[in-house]
Amino acid sequence: MQGITIPFWIFVLLVFFAVIALLDRVLAPSVRWFFRRRLNTAIDELNSRLDTRIQPFKLTRKQTLVDQLMYDREVVQAAEEEATKTGTPISVIMEKAERYAREIVPSFSPLAYFGFGMRFAKIVSKLFYRVRVGYLNDEALSKIDPSASVVFVMNHRSNMDYLLVTYLASTRTTLSYAVGEWARIWGLQSLVRAMGAYFIRRSSNNELYRKVLARYVAMATREGVPQAFFPEGGLSTDGKLREPKFGLLSYMLSGYSQTSGRDVVFIPVGINYDRVMEDRILTQKLEQDSTGRDYSLSIKKSLSFMINLIGRRLQGKLFKNGHACVSFGNPISLKEWMRINKITLEKSTEKQKSKVIEKLGEQLITEVGNVVPVMPVSLVASVFKKANATQMTELEIKSKVFKLISDYEKKGFHVHIPREDHDYAVSTGLRMLTLRHIIREDDDGMFLANPDEKVIIDYYANSIAHL
């Protein structure tokens, strides 16, 4: 019997692969079981603290959700229709549908959400703003059916909205956002997916893509995943509430059953700021049309802005951007809303369903508008917008602002008064605008709106114009 001689490096490779096989077959299952058990224990503890539990659907592996979408009857039907229309093999169309599904479906991680995301949202929100909760009907919110699908419907003022609402709602639920293509940046998109958000192509008219997106949103709603969306579809460029879009709302109600399905509860959320950090960028087109100045974003301008911030920080002159306030309106139960309006979706035609969705969407955006907080800067800007280039003393400004506050409060709208001090509220709003040279103060103590800043004054006044 002869032995076999092999090179030493081959022996090392064989030992290496044998160790890997041993780890994979013997130790890895035990380690996975250990961490899965720890994770389940952590999730149970989180669910005991949250008003709305983390649903099993949200914890399902991404590949499983992708497979569910791929075998969904409506997705398969849409793929067959496109194959017939274009003459492309069905296998190629299904591969395209799978790419869409992988792009849309998130991969939620409780560790990323609570271990990093929630803390990051809190730190950044409090770093830039004095965060406050405006109107909140805690009793009504506590009565929401725990099994219902909760949907936060919000106005869209700033990209800070995502962080602000995530931070304030973190003790109640985990939110799944619809995020635009702006966040599809290497590194960032993985974090966004881990936070439970799903990507959407807002401008896509591809029918197959729209069907895959619609089926995912319908599945998530059916399974009780808490969601948040902006019916305006994008950031306001003039400060006013934009006309609502009904695409995501129609997806949420797709296949909804009033008799056997779980209820869908909409919570209107109103957001407002004393200063929107990207106000110059949002209003740049209006600014260019009005004054010819260009505030478009560039690397040079971004670096200059950061250097200026660091310099002001070192000098002790860096102030927070005022207050950021969020109000949570009274919840609207879809079942109750349909009962009151005597609507039965199951028996409605497609045209009737479109009208129902439009009617519901209009009511939701109205309710969102009604809970948008009235901020000090918005009040002062409104006074100067109406003043039409008239100089005013501080006393005259306060008198006009106090009158506005009284009018808004009589109508039942929430006015955010820092420290419950009306004088301080006006002084805060006036200081924010004078520091930015939007309002000018002369040597005699007279205040006048800077004629070159009319667009910005209108932008902040428009945030409460609908009230």
- What are the DSSP calls for 8-26, one per residue? HHHHHHHHHHHHHHHIIII
Q: Write down the residue that tokens 């209820």 correspond to.
A: 263
Mean pLDDT for all residues in the chain? 83
Over residues 156-171, the pLDDT tens digits come to: 999 899 889 888 887 6
pLDDT at 168: 86
Window from 21-30, 210-219, 430-439 with minimum mean pLDDT: 21-30
Contact 428, 418 (CB under 8 A): yes
Q: How many helices (H) and strands (E) does the chain have?
A: 22, 10
Query: How would residue 416 be classed by pLDDT, with cut points 50, 70 and 90?
Result: very high
Query: Percent of the chain at pLDDT above 90?
Result: 40
> What amino acid occupies position 364?
L
Query: How would residue 272 be classed by pLDDT, with cut points 50, 70 and 90?
Result: very high
Instruction: Please tell me the total number of residues recorded for the chain in this structure.
Output: 467
The CA distance from 460 to 279, in Å, is 9
Residue 358: C-alpha distances to residues 236, 353, 390 (Å): 20, 9, 43
Query: How would residue 33 be classed by pLDDT, with cut points 50, 70 and 90?
Result: very low
Q: Give mean pLDDT, residues 272-278.
A: 93
pLDDT at 370: 96
Sign (positive or negative) of CA dihedral 52, 56, 61, 65: negative
Helices of type H across 292-375: 299-314, 334-340, 350-370
Of 224, 71, 200, which Cα lies nearest the Cα of 145?
224
Residue 333 confidence (pLDDT) above 70? yes
The CA distance from 254 to 212, in Å, is 13
Q: Give mean pLDDT, residues 114-132.
A: 87
The CA distance from 317 to 16, in Å, is 60
Q: Give mean pLDDT, residues 370-376.
A: 96
Query: How would residue 318 be classed by pLDDT, with cut points 50, 70 and 90?
Result: low
The CA distance from 111 to 119, in Å, is 11
Query: How would residue 361 be classed by pLDDT, with cut points 50, 70 and 90?
Result: very high
Contact 457, 407 (CB under 8 A): no
pLDDT at 354: 86
pLDDT at 394: 93
pLDDT at 167: 87
Residue 182 confidence (pLDDT) above 60? yes
Structural tokens at position 93: 């169309």
Angle at 348 between CA 347 and CA 354, to 5 degrees: 155
pLDDT at 25: 59
pLDDT at 140: 87
Q: Give mean pLDDT, residues 72-91.
A: 91
Cα first-last separation, the chain: 97
pLDDT at 332: 94
> What amino acid occupies position 154?
M
Using CA atoms of 93, 94, 98, 103 in order, give the dihedral in degrees to the nearest 10: 20
